[in-house]
Structure 1
Amino acid sequence: MREILDIQKQLVPDLLDAMKKRYTILHHILVSGIVGRRTLAVSLNTTERILRAEVDFLKEQGLIDVEVSGMRVSAAGKQLLESIEPLVKDLFGLTELEERIRSHFGLKHVVIVPGDSDVSPHTKKELGRAGASMLRKFVADDEIIAVTGGSTMAEVATHLTASSSLKGCWFVPARGGLGESVELQANTIASTMAKKTGGRYRLLHVPDHLGEDAYQSLMQDSSIAEIIEFIRSARMVVHGIGEAMVMARRRKVDPETTEHLREDGALAEAFGYYFDRDGNILHKMPTIGLRIEDIHGMDAVICIGGGKSKGEAIAAVLRHGHEDVLITDEAAAKVVVESLPS
């Protein structure tokens, strides 16, 4: 396949350009579910006039259905997208990036989607779709699945559907709430995942960031202790990654600790732990939920995060050495690869 692509690039580069353009349009429609031409043109940074010819072609080929409410990918279009995905990854140069990251960090699987989720909502949606697909691939029957909060994890929940493999599973929040938008909190995401898959869920109604006294007091409560024990029995976790300084602000970390984190070179945050460039833990917040030792003992740890701004943070968490699967985007992946030794 790689040799054929190389030949085509030399002899008919315009053919590959057309293929990339039509794949991108078709894929945008798939991830959107149903979308109008004007909205799609804005998303692709093109004009309706230019888009019209491509949409007409895709419709003639039976790859999309055009309805009053908008365009959606047909069954034939979905089958085509699925069958050409390996070819498209080569076309975008993503296969090589995936293998470099997978082999260097010893991961079981790496999925890289095209684009930069810092600037493209479509790319973030695609991260969610890829995350949902990978969750289904790795889950075991009647699994307890811990999930974190955040906008990318919310996209994963959006793309989950009823599944026999997930129907008997429990979804639980990995930690307490951040006090941010309700729809982005781990509790909400866990319950949404359960409802969309036919699974079950349990919630943790405590704040994420606690003082030491409050932490110790809550841990003495029998009902809190019981749900914490249940969460810590999870064998799979699906989590996001945060930039250290961004997360310190969101968690309202005191100025003195924040300054220490900055001086020590904190780059990443996950599960309330702050990591430096080499993956060393610099600081742990007193949070109720999963601990790092719980993560280390799990059967599947799936990390999802993208955007060029998070590339260094992703690399730092990978260097900690306890991830199994990485789902990221092209922009972040390139930053990760640039950080690897030559």
Structure 2
Amino acid sequence: MKETGMERRGPAELVLAAAVARRHYLAGQSKVEIADELGLSRFKVARLIDFAREAGIVRIEIVADGELDLDRSARLQERFGLRHAVVVDGSRIESSALADHLGRAAAGLLTDVVQAGDVLGLPWSRSVDVMTRSLRDLPPVDVVQLSGAMEVEGHDSSAVDIVRRAARATGGGSSIFYAPLLLDDAAGAATLRREPQVARVLAQASRVTVAVMGVGAWAPGLSTIHDAVTSADREALAGLGVVGEIAGVLFDASGTVVEPPLTERVVTISPDALRGIEEVVAIASGADKGVAVRAALAGGLVNAVVADAALADALLS
């Protein structure tokens, strides 16, 4: 049988390693202080600390902070090189309440992230709508609308409502326009995009430094755009490799933006403007959105995530 590090050491050495580890990790003593106190060389102390971790005498655990899963958050941030990652442990939350908890977590993240001089960009999104209801303690920054709106059962906020609510929380100005996100034909959408107010606000996307976006997966019930178009449109886009959308910006599994004729019917931020935003926070939940969120990260469409544990595990697996 192969020997472990514990088996190769005698009891005295194991107890010494434990004593050194207690002083270092629990009492906060430096290696030099421990060496002086125990009459050891600091190199011996360093070796004992390393041994204590390798042998399992010391186990380092990152604990949760309330409903925030700090361990998953840190691992997700490190795995994808994210600017920020916040994971909500949804195991003890009713599924009907998860969106509210994610919204509060995203609002809390914005409190940390948004600074004076920033410009906040918000599209129409069910998750963004929920988040704006929890916004508090933000500096007086302007808020810019990034897309038209959809009518969805159970959600009565327009994109204008979302932006105005956020602007009231910040005390800054709001740039808004009245338009649907998806129209029935490209000509109607083109006419709307040429409207002076719509064109002026969409052009202000270049000012946005922080944006919050929902992520839709290209599957039933996981994207308002997917559910709003015809079955022929859904099949055509699936055939082009579309796996998700952010405010109507479609992308494939590599995160490459896909621009079929359907996109000409959408009133929203351009893909180039989206990529130009310094920090784009995605709010999403559920393992079934893993492919879409992973693709959005790969394509650089988002660089920060607020997610539940199920989605985080799907991304980390």
TM over 0.5: yes
Q: Deviations over 1:248-267 (max 9, x none)?
A: 66563233331122234432
Paired residue for 1:106, among 81, 87, 98? Answer: 81
State how far apart, in whole Å, the 2-side matches of 1:151 and 1:219 are. 23
Q: Deviations over 1:152-199 (max 9, x none)?
A: 2122112112x3x432x1222210111335634322211111223323
Correspondence list, 1:86-235, <5 A: 87-88=63-64, 94-115=69-90, 120-161=95-136, 163=137, 165-167=138-140, 169-180=141-152, 183-210=156-183, 211-235=185-209
State how far apart, in whole Å, the 1-side matches of 2:68 and 2:119 are. 36
Secondary structure at the counterpart of residue 267 of structure 1: strand
**Per-residue deviation, 1:240:** 0.7
In the other structure, the counterpart of 1:10 is: none
1:294 aligns with 2:266: no
Distance verdict in 2 for CA 1:88–1:116, change over 3 Å:
closer
Paired residue for 1:252, among 223, 228, 235? Answer: 228
Q: Deviations over 1:282-324 (max 9, x none)?
A: 3452222311111211121111111233222222211212422
In the other structure, the counterpart of 2:213 is: 239
State how far apart, in whole Å, the 2-side matches of 1:117 and 1:307 are. 15
State how far apart, in whole Å, the 2-side matches of 1:249 and 1:239 are. 14
Contact 2:124 2:247 in 1 (8 A): no
Q: Deviations over 1:53-85 (max 9, x none)?
A: xxxxxxxxxxxxxxxxxxxxxxxxxxxxxxxxx
Secondary structure at the counterpart of residue 171 of structure 1: strand
**Per-residue deviation, 1:241:** 0.5
**Per-residue deviation, 1:92:** 8.8
Contact 1:117 1:124 in 2 (8 A): no
Q: TM-score, normalised by structure 1?
A: 0.65
Distance verdict in 2 for CA 1:121–1:145, change over 3 Å:
same
Secondary structure at the counterpart of residue 256 of structure 1: helix
Distance verdict in 2 for CA 1:151–1:226, change over 3 Å:
closer
Secondary structure at the counterpart of residue 152 of structure 2: coil
- Matched to 2:118, the amino acid is E
Point out where structure 2 has 5 or more consecutive residues left out of the alignment. Answer: 1-61
In the other structure, the counterpart of 2:49 is: none
Paired residue for 1:278, among 244, 247, 254? Answer: 254
Contact 1:204 1:227 in 2 (8 A): yes
State how far apart, in whole Å, the 2-side matches of 1:249 and 1:118 are. 28
Q: Deviations over 1:91-137 (max 9, x none)?
A: 99944433332233221111111016996233322211111111122
Q: TM-score, normalised by structure 2?
A: 0.70
Point out where structure 1 has 5 or more consecutive residues left out of the alignment. Answer: 1-85
CA-atom RMSD in angstroms? 2.8
Distance verdict in 2 for CA 1:218–1:124, change over 3 Å:
closer
- Identity among equivalent pairs (%): 22
In the other structure, the counterpart of 2:5 is: none
How many pairs does the alignment contain? 250
State how far apart, in whole Å, the 2-side matches of 1:116 and 1:275 are. 30
Paired residue for 1:313, among 275, 285, 292? Answer: 292
Paired residue for 1:325, among 304, 308, 314? Answer: 304
Secondary structure at the counterpart of residue 88 of structure 1: coil
State how far apart, in whole Å, the 1-side matches of 2:255 and 2:102 are. 23
1:336 aligns with 2:291: no
Paired residue for 2:283, among 304, 307, 331? Answer: 304
